Amino acid sequence: MSTVELINTALGTVIDPELHKPLPELGMVESVDFTDGIAKIGILLTIVGCPMKDRLHSDITKALSDISDVKSVEINFGVMNEEQRNNVKKLIRGGREKFIPFAQPDSLTRVLGIASGKGGVGKSSVTVNLAVAAAARGLKVGILDADVYGHSIPRLMGILDKRPTAIDQTFIPVENYGVKVVSMEMFKPERSDPVAYRGPLLHRVLEQLLSDAYWGDLDLLLLDLPPGTGDIAISLGQLIPTSEIIVVTTPQIAAAEIAERAGRIAHQIKQPVIGVIENMSESIDPESGKKISIFGSGGGEETAKRLSNLIGVDVPLLAKIPFNPILREGGDEGNPIALTDKGFAKIFDEILDQIIIRPKSLVGVRLNINT
């Protein structure tokens, strides 16, 4: 095998950090030349100012370092033209036009909407910690911050001021802790800018965030829904009919009455409600050892009971997450507590045991077998 062939083979092992496909498959290798021990590589970036340029330079250099004849590597970066970018978009979409991958009959992605009757119950914190706990298990996970008005996922995930890489109308989610994230906040000129959408426009925004992002193959997609029973909650059921709902509430009995409404709207649009999570539950005073119930008790059980009676099947109370300042501190710092505290990690792992781990079915999947 010639040195040029060895170089091309090595380049085939270099994976694009955002699109997660080999560079030659994406059409990013423009030229390969080898003269006097110098490998000269032409690489086409998808966009001007690609944030992965330095990473690609490092990965390519490393991949060629095992070829004995290559003494040095020179990489010339260019930018794809419109036709080449269109080819990339067709490749990552499997040759299909823009669509919501999770709504397709052959999708094996589990889609969970994290809902609440009102704000301030810790719904976003639950979403983030479930996601990173699932990713820590080796699952491929995404979060869509569908709380259009009150988006907080970027801060909780430690990706403030990060923006997706865009290939024309397709964009690549920002990734951290092994979780791919898309949020409305990433598309605003300034973080402090308000979002003033309503009605049909909200439906369109959710549809675009789901279809315009290149999510890749996910095992699990979590949607942090807005509190209450508004347009987004209804749109999710319409856009992804197979999506399921988890309701987050607090121990306060009054909160249970409000949380029930989130489950009720899901039931009305035929979305399964698979469980309730009680957040800010009673905790133990480390000094006295006494139980502290700042927000009362019984709200989680009451919500699960009401929803079970409404739906006619058991809606379990999946967990009680104790009130603890370190949960808030981890969120403010962008360090999810499920990755830093063994006690909380155990709680979220136990939730995953109940809702995530299930065998993948081939029901409804086209096997392309000719008979």
In this structure, are residues 260 and 117 in contact, taking their beta carbons and an 8 Å threshold? yes
Which range among 112-116, 201-205, 285-289 shows the weakest confidence by mean pLDDT? 285-289
In this structure, are residues 191 and 161 in contact, taking their beta carbons and an 8 Å threshold? yes
- Give kind and range of the element (H or E) at residue 45: strand 38-45
Mean predicted lDDT score pLDDT of the chain: 86
pLDDT of residue 365: 41
**Segment 314-319 mean pLDDT:** 94
CA distance 297 to 308: 19
What is the SS3 assignment for 119?
coil
CATH topology of domain 101-355: Rossmann fold (3.40.50)
pLDDT of residue 103: 87
What is the SS3 assignment for 257?
helix
> Domain residue spans in the chain?
3-92, 101-355
pLDDT of residue 371: 46
What is the SS3 assignment for 206?
helix
pLDDT band, very low/low/confident/very high, at 43 (cuts 50, 70, 90): very high
Structure tokens at 188: 């605003």
**Segment 235-263 mean pLDDT:** 88
pLDDT band, very low/low/confident/very high, at 185 (cuts 50, 70, 90): confident
SS3 content of the chain, % helix, strand, coil (to 5): 35, 20, 40
- Which residues, in sequence order, are CB contacts of 22 under 8 Å at separation 6+? 11, 12, 13, 14, 15, 16
Q: Within 43-188, where are the H helices?
A: 53-64, 82-92, 123-136, 153-156
pLDDT band, very low/low/confident/very high, at 364 (cuts 50, 70, 90): very low
pLDDT of residue 254: 81
**Segment 335-342 mean pLDDT:** 93
In this structure, are residues 311 and 323 in contact, taking their beta carbons and an 8 Å threshold? no
pLDDT of residue 119: 84
pLDDT of residue 124: 94
- Give kind and range of the element (H or E) at residue 300: helix 299-311
Of the candidates 318, 310, 237, the residue with the CA atom closest to the CA atom of residue 274? 318
Residue with tokens 């999810």: 336
CATH class, range 3-92: alpha beta
C-alpha torsion sign, points 139, 354, 146, 169: positive
Q: What percent of the chain has pLDDT over 70?
A: 92
**Radius of gyration (C-alpha) of the chain in whole angstroms:** 24
- Alpha-carbon distances of 134 from 67, 222, 271, 353, rounded to whole Å: 38, 11, 22, 10
Residue with tokens 């035929």: 270
Task: Report the b/e string of 325-358 with b at 16+ CB within 10 A.
Answer: eebeebbeebbbbbbebeebbebbbebbeebbee
Residue 135 has pLDDT above 70, yes or no: yes
* Amino acid occupying residue 283: S
Residue 48 has pLDDT above 70, yes or no: yes
Averaging pLDDT over each range in 117-131, 194-208, 350-364, which range is the top one? 117-131
Of residues 243 and 98, more confidence is placed in 243
C-alpha torsion sign, points 302, 303, 305, 309: positive
CA distance 190 to 169: 21
pLDDT band, very low/low/confident/very high, at 298 (cuts 50, 70, 90): confident
pLDDT band, very low/low/confident/very high, at 361 (cuts 50, 70, 90): very low
CA distance 226 to 228: 6
CA distance 334 to 305: 34
In this structure, are residues 102 and 111 in contact, taking their beta carbons and an 8 Å threshold? yes
Q: What percent of the chain has pLDDT over 90?
A: 46
pLDDT of residue 147: 86
Residue 123 has pLDDT above 70, yes or no: yes
pLDDT band, very low/low/confident/very high, at 359 (cuts 50, 70, 90): very low
CA distance 61 to 14: 10
Do the domains 101-355 and 3-92 match in fold? no
What is the SS3 assignment for 122?
coil
In this structure, are residues 233 and 266 in contact, taking their beta carbons and an 8 Å threshold? yes
Residue 366 has pLDDT above 60, yes or no: no
Of residues 219 and 231, more confidence is placed in 219
**Segment 313-330 mean pLDDT:** 90
